[in-house]
């Protein structure tokens, strides 16, 4: 069976979707190609379950037995219908709007594709299944729900690790290193901790007297510098490309992070994790038995880029609760 998986962004969503590859490959004996964005390509490179990575839809001039259309994009949905010779699962373009196939309804009826937004919110708040469990069920792969095969994957080379190892050597980092990632990129500012809250948490964590890597990308560079100012035990690594950034996370024994790319990288690298959850369905996230989910009380801002509350849901999580969980998971 030849499968094309279409998933282009966000980066964390691309990475979590890699958990579907080994079950698809093993159960269906599938040859899997993937269409993504060029910026996400490094997350997929080196994965033995992927035959070919496309970064331009124009490169695709063949039919596929099964197309997994997982991107809510009109042009990509039209492409999926055009190149699926037998079956399509996921996002489609129907009656002049984006919709979804019946077999993918348990997932997409909780999304913005559901015309009834109140119903989508309600279904999402009631959902008790992880993203992976939902999709394994939809794809006929439920037998893999407890399998070690079904988890996000990333493959790092010695070259990818070089910058991170040099930074660790330069600063004498070893043993119980904590990674702290308070940002979430520009797409979902409601998923990031404020500068003030981040400093408050770091002051609590300093009591552990362990080295702390303050993690983030180019978008977080300035605010991370402000967060780290004059705090003991906090180290500010350079901004690195995608896979060298993953290698920084691999230095850590424990990663404390928002629901962001850093969270998905930590799951792929089998780190102990504390994921701080605000406007996300906590049921959809999975720490794969390594760590804890710490959810903000009564948050249901699932599709809002900013929080409507005076103190955001995420910033309402008690810092003491995070410290106690960090002690437990180190």
Name the token pair of 239: 């901004």
Does 9 have pLDDT greater than 60? yes
Where are the strands (E) in 19-63, listed by range? 31-35, 50-54
**Count of CB atoms within 10 A of residue 207's CB?**
12
Name the token pair of 32: 């899997």
Q: In three state form, how does the secondary structure of 112-152 look?
A: CCCCCHHHHHHHHHHCCCCHHHHHHHHCCCHHHCCCCCCCC
Q: Do residues 150 and 23 lie in contact, with contact meaning Cβ atoms separated by under 8 Å?
A: yes
Q: Is 175 left (phi over 0), alpha (psi -120 to 50) or beta?
A: left
pLDDT of residue 306: 65
The model's pLDDT over 81-92, given as tens digits with 9 standing for 90+, comes to 999 999 999 999
* N-terminal to C-terminal alpha carbon distance within the chain: 44
Give the containing element (helix H, strand E) for 186: none
Name the token pair of 53: 């990575």
Residue 23 confidence class, pLDDT cut points 50, 70, 90: very high
pLDDT of residue 303: 57
Q: For the chain, which domains are there?
A: 2-144 (3.40.50.2000), 161-329 (3.40.50.2000)
pLDDT of residue 281: 83
pLDDT average, residue stretch 9-14: 94
Non-local CB neighbours of 109 within 8 Å, separated by 6+ positions = 100, 119, 120, 123
Q: Do residues 188 and 301 lie in contact, with contact meaning Cβ atoms separated by under 8 Å?
A: no
The model's pLDDT over 272-330, given as tens digits with 9 standing for 90+, comes to 999 999 878 889 999 999 999 999 876 655 556 666 666 678 899 999 999 999 999 99
**How far apart are alpha carbons 194 and 198 in whole angstroms?**
6
Name the token pair of 85: 């010779």
pLDDT of residue 190: 78
């Amino acid at each position: 069976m030849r499968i094309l998986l279409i998933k282009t962004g966000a980066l964390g969503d691309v990475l979590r979707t890699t958990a579907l590859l080994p079950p698809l490959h093993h159960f269906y004996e599938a040859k899997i190609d993937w269409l993504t964005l060029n910026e996400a390509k490094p997350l997929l490179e080196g994965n033995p379950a992927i035959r070919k990575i496309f970064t331009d839809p124009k490169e695709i001039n063949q039919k596929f037995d099964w197309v997994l259309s997982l991107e809510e994009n009109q042009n990509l949905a039209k492409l999926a219908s055009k190149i699926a010779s037998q079956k399509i699962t996921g996002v489609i373009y129907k009656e002049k709007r984006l919709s979804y196939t019946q077999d993918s309804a348990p997932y997409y009826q909780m999304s913005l594709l559901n015309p009834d937004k109140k119903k989508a919110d309600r279904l999402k708040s009631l959902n008790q299944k992880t993203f992976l469990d939902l999709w394994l069920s939809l794809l006929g792969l439920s037998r893999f729900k407890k399998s070690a095969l079904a988890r996000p994957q990333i493959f790092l080379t010695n070259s990818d690790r070089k910058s991170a190892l040099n930074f660790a050597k330069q600063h004498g980092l070893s043993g119980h290193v904590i990674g702290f990632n308070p940002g979430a990129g520009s797409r979902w500012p409601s998923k990031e901790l404020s500068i003030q809250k981040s400093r408050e948490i770091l002051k609590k964590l300093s009591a552990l007297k362990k080295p702390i890597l303050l993690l983030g990308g180019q978008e977080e560079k300035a605010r991370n510098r402000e967060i780290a100012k004059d705090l003991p035990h906090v180290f500010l690594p350079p901004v690195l490309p995608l896979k060298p950034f993953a290698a920084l996370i691999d230095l850590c024994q424990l990663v404390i992070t928002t629901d962001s790319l850093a969270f998905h990288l930590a799951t792929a690298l089998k780190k102990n994790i504390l994921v701080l959850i605000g406007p996300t369905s906590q049921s959809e996230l999975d720490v794969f038995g390594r760590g804890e989910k710490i959810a903000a009380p009564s948050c249901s801002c699932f599709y809002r880029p900013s929080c409507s509350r005076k103190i955001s849901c995420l910033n309402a999580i008690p810092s003491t609760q995070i410290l106690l969980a960090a002690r437990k998971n180190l």
